[in-house]
Amino acid sequence: MNERLTQTLRRAAQSNPNGMATVDGDRRRTWREVEARVARAAGGLRALGVAEGARVAILSLNSDRYLEAYYAIAWAGGVMLPLNTRLTTDDVIYMLGDAEASVLCVDASFLPLVAQVRERCPLLRHVVFLGDTGAQPAGAMPWDALAAGELLDDACAAGDALAGIFYTGGSTGRPKGVMLSHANLVSNAVNAVYMIGYQPDCVFLHAAPMCHLTDGMSTVALTMAGGTHVFTPKFDAREALRQVELHRVTHLTLVPTMIAMLLEVEGIERMKLDSLRQFMFGSAPMPDATLHQAVAIWPGMLFLHGWGMTELAPIGTMLPLAMRRPAVAGDRLRSCGQAMPNLDLRIVDAEGREVPRGTTGQIVVRGPTVMLGYWRRPQESAAALRDGWLQTGDAAVMDEDGYVYIVDRLKDMIISGGENIYSTEVENAISLMPGVAEVAVIGIPDDKWGERVHAIVVPREGAQLDEPAVQAWARARIAGYKVPRSVQVRRERLPLSGAGKVLKSELRAPFWRAHERSI
């Protein structure tokens, strides 16, 4: 296979050399300029000892330099290690040590970590500073200095060569490093260009973290199309909308929790957001209430629901173009779409047998975007990859036309008195209740039933909610055994992972701490 990450950049510079490539604050660069900076920065990395297979970590908020580092590491023949910006210092140190990273690229937001990292990571030899030079740490190499050096010929790593290690999980143990090849990332980008419809005139706002592949899928795909990348350092609802207005953004990918925050911005109905062509969402199920509110504000918008995971680089399914308009899609807007063009996808039972359409089972996938495995974890790799099929751990239903409906993460399913209760169904029902801003449903210990349904509800400002009211609302909409037996009303927002998913493991922990079995 000849797929290589750097080819997507070379194509953009060839097919749209004078097109606007990156917009970051006052900085503007064309694709010809970005390609040259990447080739020079790769030369600087090579001078620091980055050669074939060397791991280079990136710990930074979103920026044009992040995108350049993404490509320069591959251009030098190295392996990128994007680190979640919400990690603890111990997690960062663990991942740097586990991957044996020799170089860390860091921006000003993470300068306080540098001293500890240098002390506790003996294999880390160099720190490269992605921020502005005025705040750089002692002994660090400024990125712009690397990008002003000698041009380096592309190492042309390709195919099954390792392109990046993307750490995921950690709620039930140490995080696992998902190994993605050049072929994985490029095959995913081809899917995204085809299914999303990226063209040179597209403008994508990096509002979700670039360290996460929910956003990262467009890092490569939009580059392949020669479009324009706009950057905001981290997600802020009002700032994201301002960037859309200012730069005439056409495409935006967010997780549902972020979309809910956008909808809370006062005056959103009056903002000039007509440049937006398509809202892409995934990573977690969209609550019905959030979807209804978004459709009410943008009735003509294309809503692209997709499903994926890091192990798939990351796209597994997407709604086809004809089903992205609410008036046409109807209930199918709740679907996460059909399998991507080059993937086989099945819904199977516990024994791996495909289940009848309309029956809940686990999604399994095979194809060119499926990961190589987990970094230095052969047993876990073998468990996840069975006969070439990735065991996703996601429960779903497929209809007669191949549309997939995510039911829940298998680990979030609640088993109460022998009944399987999917938390997302309960959450959807409660999310429609007036006054509810956020809701998470978890299973907690119950001496009689094993587990019982417990809801954690965050009210909207000024709303008054209590347990009886929430239970009564749910009881009118779902089966009695699914109604929460207990409800906690809290004012602080639900805890989120770096990918914007609700950290249910954190919510469950206090309830299961004294029990031998936990979930």
pLDDT value, residue 165: 98
Compute the distance between CA of residue 242 and CA of residue 120 in angstroms, rounded to an integer.
41
DSSP annotation string for 183-196? HHHHHHHHHHIIII
Distances (CA, A) of 348 to 25, 121, 365, 367, 390: 48, 43, 10, 17, 12
In the block, tokens 């347990």 appear at: 467
pLDDT per residue over 101-146, tens digit each?
999 999 999 988 999 999 999 999 999 999 987 777 778 999 999 9
Tell me the pLDDT band of 170, cut-offs 50, 70 and 90. Answer: very low
Q: Which two tokens stand for residue 80?
A: 């990128």
Q: Is residue 364 helix, strand or coil?
A: strand
Helices assigned H by DSSP within 298-415: 326-329, 378-384
Which range (304-318, 420-434, 455-469, 495-509) has the least confidence? 495-509
Strand 486-489 with 450-459, pairing: parallel
Return the axis-axis angle of helices 89-99 and 111-120, rounded to nearest 10°: 50
Domains of the chain, earliest start first: 1-15+24-181 (3.40.50.12780), 343-409 (2.30.38.10), 413-512 (3.30.300.30)
pLDDT per residue over 405-428, tens digit each?
987 776 777 877 666 687 878 888
Which range (106-110, 246-250, 312-316, 492-496) has the least confidence? 492-496
Per the prediction, the chain carries an average pLDDT of 90
pLDDT surpasses 50 at 386: yes
Beta-bridge mates of residue 386: 389
User: DSSP class of residue 197?
Assistant: I
Percent of all residues in the chain with a pLDDT value above 90, rounded to a whole number: 67
pLDDT value, residue 173: 58
pLDDT value, residue 65: 98
In the block, tokens 């516990």 appear at: 350
Distance of CA 239 to the CA centre of its chain: 20
Distance of CA 417 to the CA centre of its chain: 35
pLDDT value, residue 238: 96
Q: Higher-confidence residue: 77 or 513?
A: 77
pLDDT surpasses 90 at 90: no
pLDDT per residue over 9-28, tens digit each?
999 999 999 999 999 999 99
pLDDT per residue over 186-238, tens digit each?
999 999 999 999 999 999 999 999 998 989 899 999 999 999 999 999 999 99
pLDDT value, residue 172: 44
pLDDT value, residue 499: 64
Tell me the pLDDT band of 259, cut-offs 50, 70 and 90. Answer: confident
Contact 278, 304 (CB under 8 A): yes
SS3 content of the chain, % helix, strand, coil (to 5): 35, 25, 40
pLDDT per residue over 334-367, tens digit each?
789 999 999 999 999 989 999 999 998 999 999 9
Contact 36, 44 (CB under 8 A): no
pLDDT surpasses 60 at 487: yes
Strands (E), 327-449: 338-339, 344-348, 361-366, 373-374, 385-386, 389-398, 404-409, 414-416, 419-421, 436-446
pLDDT surpasses 50 at 516: no
Q: Higher-confidence residue: 195 or 514?
A: 195
pLDDT surpasses 80 at 242: yes
Beta-bridge mates of residue 278: 251, 302
CA angle, 326 then 331 then 333, to 5° = 50
